[in-house]
């Protein structure tokens, strides 16, 4: 099975790229589903589908051609299906504070509920082998990164807090009920949490298995977009999810000679060079700006050709981890793979939250996590083909 996440800043063209990849995968005979996690779904619009066709699906899969389905998650449907008793308790609790009942129900939809629903579907599709390929059109970067930490956080809660909390609630419930009108969670609530955790088991291993799952970051050659893409790249790497390609969308082609676009084209050329320094050795696939709107299956197929050419979109375009962070005894270590170099070739420079590694004429920018960025570079040494950089105060 193959799972590919398409992530990036809002408006860079993630939905178009995910849809184009789905078209190519389906043409190759693979049963493919494209899932939209963005609250403002546009997947059905990209395929130019009739609105009532998707509305009637209520968040379920909709077949749009041979071997290809789309799914736009419906948070209300997912709450009823996956969060029933948990959502009911939270809305009741909020209602006791004096909030209007409808407002309480709305506020009881917590951040992360939709992401958990996505993870449940991933686990389901892997276990049931319903599809060969799952493509995920993620929400804008800041929101989409939340789902990565959910399995680990929930596992910690279940192992460290859940049993004790459940036992205390069981003992305290009859007493509190006589003294206060604020309800403690009932057994249905705890059963709901436990059931949710059991259905999520194993999904964290799926996310970090590079044989199955990779991330493709979609960007435009613009300063702010590149910075956010760099940050997303760092976080996915920290969570050990494999980024196997950068799709650089909407590049103005050299054939455009009009003076109006000249400065824009030159600035894009500079940002493309910066992107190569940021993300090397992960490959960058530049995609020229289309003359018209990318809409419908024909134009999506054309986009797939522009992105992948003769390549198989389900291949893993990069193997391995370009760099890793570790913490030991209060100190941070960055391991950077740099084969075939001598220590005399390496120059390090830390500027704000970026580490600039220069090897000869090659320069690599690495965005540092906030905790590491607060430290200074203390030492660096070569160990085989890895450059080890130590940070301390």
The answer to whether 223 and 272 have CB atoms below 8 angstroms apart is no
Please state whether beta strands 386-392 and 331-337 pair in parallel, antiparallel, or not at all (unpaired).
antiparallel
| Interacting residues of 232 by C-beta distance below 8 A, sequence separation 6+ | 7, 8, 141, 145, 217
Query: 17-45: string of b/e by CB count within 10 Å (b at 16+)?
Result: bbbbbbbbbbbeebbbbbbbbbeebebbe
User: Whole-angstrom Cα distance, residue 56 to residue 362?
Assistant: 54
Q: Look up tokens 């804008």; give the residue.
A: 140
Q: Residue 301's pLDDT is what?
A: 96
End-to-end alpha-carbon separation of the chain, Å?
45
Instruction: Supply the angle between the helices 187-200 and 84-95 in degrees, to the nearest 10.
Output: 140
User: Whole-angstrom Cα distance, residue 393 to residue 381?
Assistant: 18
Q: Look up tokens 């375009």; give the residue.
A: 317
- Angle (CA) 226-228-234 rounded to 5° is 105
Average pLDDT for runs of 10 along the chain of length 393? 94 95 97 85 84 66 94 77 71 71 66 76 92 92 68 78 81 71 78 84 90 96 93 83 95 88 92 90 94 91 96 94 82 80 76 82 79 86 84 83
Domains identified in the chain and CATH numbers:
2-74+112-144+203-308 (3.40.50.300), 323-392 (2.60.40.790)
Beta bridge partners of 286: 248
The answer to whether 281 and 322 have CB atoms below 8 angstroms apart is yes
Query: What are the φ/ψ torsions at residue 31 (nearest 5 degrees)?
Result: -70, 115
Beta bridge partners of 346: 359
**Sign (positive or negative) of CA dihedral 229, 230, 235, 240:** positive
User: What Cα–Cα distance (Å) separates residue 88 from each residue in 113, 174, 196, 329?
Assistant: 14, 20, 15, 44
The answer to whether 145 and 235 have CB atoms below 8 angstroms apart is yes
Q: Residue 141's pLDDT is what?
A: 65
Q: Give the pair of three-digit tokens for residue 275.
A: 């992107």
């Amino acid at each position: 099975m193959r799972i590919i996440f398409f992530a990036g800043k809002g408006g860079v063209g993630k939905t178009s790229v995910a849809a184009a990849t789905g078209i190519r995968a389906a043409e190759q005979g693979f049963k493919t589903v494209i899932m939209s996690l963005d609250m403002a779904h546009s997947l059905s619009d990209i395929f130019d589908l009739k609105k009532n066709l998707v509305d009637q699906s209520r968040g379920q899969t909709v077949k749009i051609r041979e071997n290809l389905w789309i799914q736009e998650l419906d948070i209300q449907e997912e709450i009823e299906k996956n969060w029933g008793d948990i959502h009911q308790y939270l809305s009741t609790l909020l209602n006791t504070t004096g909030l209007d009942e409808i407002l309480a129900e709305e506020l009881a939809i917590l951040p992360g509920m939709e992401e958990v629903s996505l993870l449940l579907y991933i686990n389901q599709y892997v276990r049931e082998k319903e599809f060969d390929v799952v493509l995920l059109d993620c929400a804008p970067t800041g929101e989409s990164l939340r789902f990565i930490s959910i399995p680990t956080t929930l596992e910690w809660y279940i192992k460290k807090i859940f049993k004790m909390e459940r036992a205390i609630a069981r003992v305290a419930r009859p007493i509190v009920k006589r003294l206060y009108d604020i309800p403690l969670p009932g057994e249905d609530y705890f059963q709901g949490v436990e059931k949710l955790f059991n259905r999520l088991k194993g999904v964290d291993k799926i996310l970090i298995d590079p044989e199955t799952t990779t991330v493709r970051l979609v960007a435009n050659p613009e300063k702010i977009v590149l910075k956010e893409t760099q940050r997303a790249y760092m976080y996915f790497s920290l969570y050990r999810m494999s980024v196997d390609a950068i799709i650089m969308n909407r590049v103005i082609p050299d054939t455009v000679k009009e003076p109006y676009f000249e400065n824009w084209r030159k600035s894009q050329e500079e940002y493309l060079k910066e992107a190569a320094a940021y993300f090397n050795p992960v490959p960058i696939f530049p995609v020229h700006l289309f003359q018209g709107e990318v809409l419908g299956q024909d134009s999506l197929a054309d986009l797939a050709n522009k992105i992948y050419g003769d390549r198989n979109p389900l291949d893993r375009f990069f193997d391995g981890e370009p760099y890793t962070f570790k913490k030991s005894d209060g100190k941070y270590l960055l391991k950077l793979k740099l084969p075939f170099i001598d220590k005399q070739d390496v120059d390090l420079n830390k500027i704000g939250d970026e580490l600039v590694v220069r090897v000869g004429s090659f320069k690599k920018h690495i965005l540092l996590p906030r905790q590491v960025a607060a430290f200074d570079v203390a030492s660096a040494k070569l160990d085989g083909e890895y450059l080890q950089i130590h940070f301390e105060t």
